[in-house]
Copies of this chain bind each other. A is one copy, B any other.
Amino acid sequence: MRPLSPSDQLFLWLEKRQQPMHVGGLQLFSFPDNAPDDYVAQLASQLREYLRVTPPFNQRLTYKLGQPHWVTDEHLDLEHHFRFEALPTPGRVRELLAFVSAEHSHLMDRERPMWEVHLIEGLQDRQFALYTKVHHSLVDGVSAMRMVTRMLSQDPAENGMPPIWAMPPRERASRDDGGPSLWRSVSHLLGTSGKQLGTIPTVAKELLKTVNQARKDPAYDSIFHAPRSVLNQKITGSRRFAAQSYCLKRIRKVCEAYGTTVNDVVTAMCASALRTYLMNQDALPEKPLVAMVPVSLRRDDSDGGNQVGVILANLHTDEPNAGERLVKIHQGMEEAKDRYRHMSPEEIINYTALTLAPAAFHLLTGMAPNWQTFNVVISNVPGPKETCYWNGAKLEGMYPVSIAMDRLALNMTLTSYKDQVEFGLIGCRRTLPSLQRMLDGLEEGLADLEAAAGL
């Protein structure tokens, strides 16, 4: 039995009926060569044999003196956690995304280890999918992505590879050296204020005081410029998940033409998609939208572990020209990175804290502050560069499924795999109707940049 860390407790505490706090991943595989038609059903039978569940997947919540602890589940029922399912006719990606949308909307059973793996048959073209769902208090998004990658092999001939719940566990120490994430930042923020979750009203009051002081300070003026938008409303309990792969080569060519980074182009694609989506709803704010982009601030002199920072990326959604928009986004990102380069570690903490404070204040108190530092979260989680296989089945794509929250109704998370950039958009289905149209917006955004660059 071990107690949950304060940040892991936070995910339990923030969870509401309409705001589940689990993360997910969708992996798309093609059948191995010569696989029989009932390959996925056979795979399901094989996976049901992995009854020895390893940490953290055998850990369930329990309460001791009112404090949450992890304890080994002695009655683990694999049938509850591993589910074999099927898509309806005609088994396109559309049906797959509808499946994930529905499943990602459901809360998990807190009386059991909070994970589920759904093996999905019925896809067209001899493909199948795995949708993995883990509560953020058990495994964070970055670690989950790393586990999912560790499950795979670059050798198509390798066999007998266990599923994620039966892999030999890694040392716990490695848990925190993943990439940056919103949640690492938020828990860092709450951590630096030196308070436990028991004193949330105190933390919230402190946040409010700090923010009100900073708003008067011209040095922090740039932080408080996000407009109000439909993205920043209360959410409901049902989700829409949309996912697509985009060709890294095309993105790289745009980078070369404009002298920007891949991340800049990807951010510009998101900006385009948001602009078009909101314009079609007659809901584009006059002032440009601001994205919160978690970044890693590793320095040579750092004593191990990652310093996590956040960049407030002005998305220049008021700029009609796609090329101009990319150039401006690039300049803003460079300035932000530059600003970080000249900051002391204390200044970085202050800056990050102020950036997150309004969102954290809202999450902790449920009250909407009358300032907004960002409208949307765009995160980039690194993925494998080589072609991967799982028991001979080739991984065709992998898409992160993140968390939508009150006042942050959309989360755009992307990862990279081989020559692809993989987007996963998760949002509240009611606040953001037909959000799957943003996939077309991403593609159009890229095409506009290619056209503007004469590619």
Contacts and interface: CB of A to CB of B under 8 A. Distances in A.
Contacts of A77: 429-430, 433
B89 A38 contact: yes
Given A44-B88, A88-B84, A109 B102 contact: no
Contacts of A98: 79, 83
A79 B436 CA distance: 14
Contact of A90 (B41, B79, B83, B430): B41
Interface SS of chain A: helix, strand, loop or mixed? loop
Contacts of A17: 17, 107, 110
A21 interface: no
A406 interface: no
A111 interface: yes
B236 A109 contact: yes
B41 A109 contact: no
A261 interface: no
A84 B84 CA distance: 17
Nearest to A15: B17
A238 interface: yes
Given A41-B90, A86-B86, A89-B86, A430 B111 contact: yes
Contacts of A111: 18, 236-238, 430
Contact of A112 (B41, B88, B121, B236): B236
A328 B63 CA distance: 45
Contacts of A102: 83
B87 A86 contact: yes
A122 interface: yes
Interface residues of A, number: 35
Interface in A234-262: 236-238
A371 B237 CA distance: 38
A40 interface: yes
A418 interface: no
In this complex, which of A89, A90, A110, A121 has the most chain B Cβ atoms within 10 angstroms of its Cβ? A89
A110 B234 CA distance: 14
A77 B90 CA distance: 22
A80 interface: yes
A79 B75 CA distance: 37
A397 to B, nearest CB: 22
Interface string A211-237: 000000000000000000000000011
Interface in A96-126: 98, 102, 105-107, 109-112, 121-122
Contacts of A85: 86, 88
A38 B91 CA distance: 13
29 contacts: A17-B107, A18-B111, A40-B88, A40-B89, A41-B88, A41-B89, A44-B88, A75-B430, A77-B429, A77-B433, A80-B238, A80-B429, A83-B98, A83-B102, A84-B88, A85-B86, A85-B88, A86-B88, A86-B122, A88-B121, A88-B122, A89-B121, A105-B109, A107-B237, A109-B236, A109-B237, A109-B238, A111-B237, A112-B430
Given A41-B90, A109-B237, 6 more contacts: A77-B433, A80-B238, A86-B122, A106-B107, A109-B236, A112-B430
Q: List 5 A-B pairs, minimum CB-CB distance, nearest first.
A: A111-B236, A41-B89, A86-B86, A86-B88, A109-B237
